[in-house]
Amino acid sequence: MTRYAMIMAGGAGTRLWPMSRRTRPKQLLPFIKGRSLLEVAADRLEGVVPADRRYICTGESYRAAVRDALPRFDDEQILGEPAARNTVNAVGFTAAVLRERDPDAVFAVLTSDHLIEPLDEFRRRLDVGFALVESDPSRIVTFSIVPTFAATGYGWVRRGDAIDGFDGAFEATGFEEKPEKVETAEKYLASGVWGWNSGMFVFHAAQFMDALSWFLPASHEGLSRIGAAWNTPGRRGELEATYPTLPSDSVDYAVMEPAAADDRLRIAVVPMDVTWKDVGSWPSYGETLAADDDGNRTNARTLHVDSRNVLAVSDDPDHLIATVGCEDLIVIRTADVTLVCPASKAQQVKAAAEAADDALK
């Protein structure tokens, strides 16, 4: 079997507006020490998957921007979605293409919006995930993150018995998608057997397509047509005609949940004891920056007078952001938009981004 990897990079990142835009989504912003989240995600694969067997699944409209940011990925390694159809179809798209290329392909599905450290631990656990599927193609592997607090904003996965012969691998015995009550998350945290669902997986490509035929036949039918046309002159026409018609669903709901109750498949979980930061909002991005004695964080020139817990971000290194007597504030400066909001209202930035589409025309 041959190892491949696909990085999902289709999100718009509206909670990181105004830096994240339709033409340059968050995964392409060079704001992690001068590197983008997508670059960081691609580099995590060093030593596990060769460079020529790494793929990026993203919106077709982002293809040129991805090529500019990561020139080592050629056009064949960028799977451009003509429309957003959620994660099950991004994974299925990859599986359909790889199945045509290599009937015994095994591929990892990875995210582009997380920071994960230490890298050695991530790579070691990813290697175990590949080995599990290579030994049994009917296995689906998911990776859990060892939790550090009772999160209600993450999905959870429960581990069962250890799998003999694979260091730190377990049978998966339960899934919970974002528990509604903090008390539930606290029980999971205290149990020692529940972990955060990372959204990362390893699949056998042909087996994933079989699972789609059982659980989401409309996607299986359409993606099979796309795969069959992939190495023909009709590739683009088939993709553009079929992909937007696929039923939109997440891979967790459409495949993982029914797979857990299906005897034809076996689900394994590999816990990762890593620092895992979801850089999906301005407060979470702020956690990647060092704080001064007053809790202020910045990547820009700043002057704070009697201000505390201010996040100040700018795309212009020469621009000075000055605050006086401010607390718990977010200030984001770009060439055409300046965002100012209380840190407690950061989740409402998405609404501002949507409203700004008309204002910026």
* Residue 176 confidence class, pLDDT cut points 50, 70, 90: confident
* Residue 153 confidence class, pLDDT cut points 50, 70, 90: confident
* Residue 10 confidence class, pLDDT cut points 50, 70, 90: confident
In the chain, where the domains are located: 2-278, 282-359
pLDDT score for 358: 62
Question: What letter would DSSP give residue 72?
Answer: T
Question: What letter would DSSP give residue 32?
Answer: B
pLDDT above 70 for 360: no
Most confident of 131-135, 174-178, 257-261: 131-135
CA separation for the pair 107, 281 (Å, rounded)? 29
Q: Quick one: what percent of the chain has pLDDT higher than 90?
A: 80
pLDDT mean over 309-318: 93
Q: Which two tokens stand for residue 156?
A: 């959870």
8 A C-beta contact, residue 109 and residue 9: no
pLDDT score for 111: 92
* Residue 61 confidence class, pLDDT cut points 50, 70, 90: very high
Rounded alpha-carbon distances, angstroms, from residue 144 to 150, 200, 347: 14, 8, 25
pLDDT mean over 357-361: 62
pLDDT mean over 28-43: 90
pLDDT above 90 for 43: yes
* Residue 317 confidence class, pLDDT cut points 50, 70, 90: confident
8 A C-beta contact, residue 285 and residue 31: yes
pLDDT score for 359: 62
Pick the CATH number of 2-278 from 3.30.1360.120, 3.40.1410.10, 3.90.550.10, 3.40.605.10: 3.90.550.10
Helices 235-242 & 217-229, crossing angle to 10 degrees? 160
Q: What angle do CA 33, 37, 38 make, to 5 degrees?
A: 130
Q: Which of 301, 246, 290, 308 is nearest to 96 (CA)?
A: 246
CA separation for the pair 134, 36 (Å, rounded)? 32
Look at the pTM and tell me if it is higher than 0.85.
yes
